[in-house]
Amino acid sequence: MPTALKKQPQIAGLRHDWTKQEILSLLALPFSDLLFRAQTTHRQHFLANEVQVSTLLSIKTGGCAEDCAYCPQSAHYATGVKAEKLMDTTAVLEAARRAKASGASRFCMGAAWREPKARDIPALTAMVEGVKSLGLETCMTLGMLEPSQALALKDAGLDYYNHNIDTSEEFYGEIITTRTYQDRLDTLENVRAAGMKVCCGGILGMGESVDDRAGMLLTLANLPEHPESVPINLLVKVEGTKLADRTSRITHHDKQASKPATFSGEASGSSSGLGSPEGSEQNLDPLDFVRTIAVARILMPVSYVRLSAGREDMSDEMQALCFLAGANSVFYGEKLLTTPNPAAHEDMRLFARLGMRVMG
């Protein structure tokens, strides 16, 4: 079975009419049944032992006007991240060359903006053209896009646009107040209309309930076309952000029916409501992270599901379970945007231990 994606409408059996209840039922399956189903789905569309790798570069760091509760780059929080100007194209291309030399196939350029300004577009299109000419796939994440901006980037050769919905519509307002869920969906529509591929996912461990995780997956899976790439991030807790300390939890969701969950590597009981012991620590059970990956794989069978931020806090065994659950992409290289990621040689060692091959 080829790993290259055909145009989605030609693939029989892709559904866009999932219900919340169906997704909750999948999330609640016995773990082995869920992983078996996800792995079976994965093998129908992908070579099971291949992983796609993308390298990130922050082309414009810090000082962002948005108040995303998780983000070290928001100007609303004192996190020690210095606000910088948009990088020079030459420096971006040098980083892209290094990424290619170390084995990345896609180069993702991220900017801490609410949206790009008209004056930034010429520099951004020059970066896209330059990176593309190195033989890399191109991806950008720049915040909200107007239709004309999306078209300009597409014309320059931008392959993917990353724009995450982050969580469920219901929980969104607890995490971000400076824009709406609909703003996110509008940009995704503009990106699609311009003919680019969509990279869209979210973050787990922000205090969301299982219902919120199901809601996020529901939105993704019921988009008119599934995002070609679905990044599932584990919250990287950065000091100074609103979500740095799990004791400063968002309270409104703190009720029995939909308990919040933040990540802890400790072996505490699951807080997910998925068979967790009553009154257990309200930490995100790593196995519930794996479950979410598995359900993303089942709902969006031909999408690349990316095990994204947070791998520094994951054991090799947890990452192996994520691959078994259908994850087939990672961010590769020692830095995400501002926070650390496993070094390339560590990932290569992990892939070798698992008999996995990096996609060319």
C-beta closer to ligand SAM: residue 50 or 312: 312
Give the number of other Cβ atoms within 10 Å of residue 83's Cβ: 12
Q: Verify whether residue 37 is a known catalytic residue.
A: no
C-beta closer to ligand DTB: residue 273 or 342: 342
Give the shortest CB-207-to-ligand DTB separation in angstroms: 17
Strands (DSSP E) along the chain, which ranges? Answer: 50-60, 106-111, 137-141, 160-162, 197-199, 202-204, 229-234, 262-263, 283-284, 304-307, 329-331, 357-358
Q: Is 69 in the site for ligand SF4 (CB under 6 A)?
A: no
C-beta closer to ligand SAM: residue 110 or 130: 110
> What are 127's two structure tokens?
């970066």
Q: Is 300 in the site for ligand DTB (CB under 6 A)?
A: no
User: Is residue 45 a contact partner of residue 39, using CB atoms and an 8 Å limit?
Assistant: no
Under rule CB under 6 A, which residues in 96-125 are in contact with ligand SAM? 110, 112-113
C-beta closer to ligand DTB: residue 231 or 342: 231
Compute the distance between CA of residue 242 and CA of residue 262 in angstroms, rounded to an integer.
Answer: 13
Which of 164, 167, 209, 272 contacts ligand SAM by CB under 6 A? 164
Q: Verify whether residue 200 is a known catalytic residue.
A: no
Give the number of other Cβ atoms within 10 Å of residue 352's Cβ: 10
Q: Verify whether residue 306 is a known catalytic residue.
A: yes
**Stretch touching ligand DTB by CB under 6 A, among 94-102, 125-133, 184-192, 330-338:** 330-338
Q: Verify whether residue 322 is a known catalytic residue.
A: no
Which of 34, 35, 71, 325 contacts ligand SF4 by CB under 6 A? 71
Conformational region of residue 359, where left means phi above 0, alpha means psi within -120 to 50, and beta covers everything else = beta
The residue to which tokens 């609103």 are assigned: 242
Residue from 37, 179, 184, 199 carrying the catalytic annotation: 199
Q: Which secondary-structure segment (H or E) carries 117? A: none
> Which CA distances in Å does 110 have to 182, 216, 238, 306, 336?
21, 22, 18, 16, 10
Which of 59, 81, 136, 235 contacts ligand SAM by CB under 6 A? 235
Compute the distance between CA of residue 264 and CA of residue 255 in angstroms, rounded to an integer.
Answer: 20
**Stretch touching ligand DTB by CB under 6 A, among 23-31, 121-129, 230-238, 283-291:** 230-238
Q: Is 336 in the site for ligand DTB (CB under 6 A)?
A: yes
**Stretch touching ligand SAM by CB under 6 A, among 16-24, 69-77, 122-130, 248-256:** 69-77
Residue 130: which of ligand DTB, ligand SAM, ligand SF4, none does it interact with, CB under 5 to 8 A by kind?
Answer: none
> What are 163's two structure tokens?
């724009």
C-beta closer to ligand DTB: residue 29 or 325: 325
Q: Is 233 in the site for ligand SAM (CB under 6 A)?
A: yes
The residue to which tokens 């997704």 are assigned: 23
> What are 110's two structure tokens?
């991220």
Where on the chain is the footprint of ligand SF4 (CB under 6 A)? 64, 66, 68, 71, 73-74, 112, 114, 143
* Residues with catalytic function: 64, 68, 71, 108, 139, 199, 306
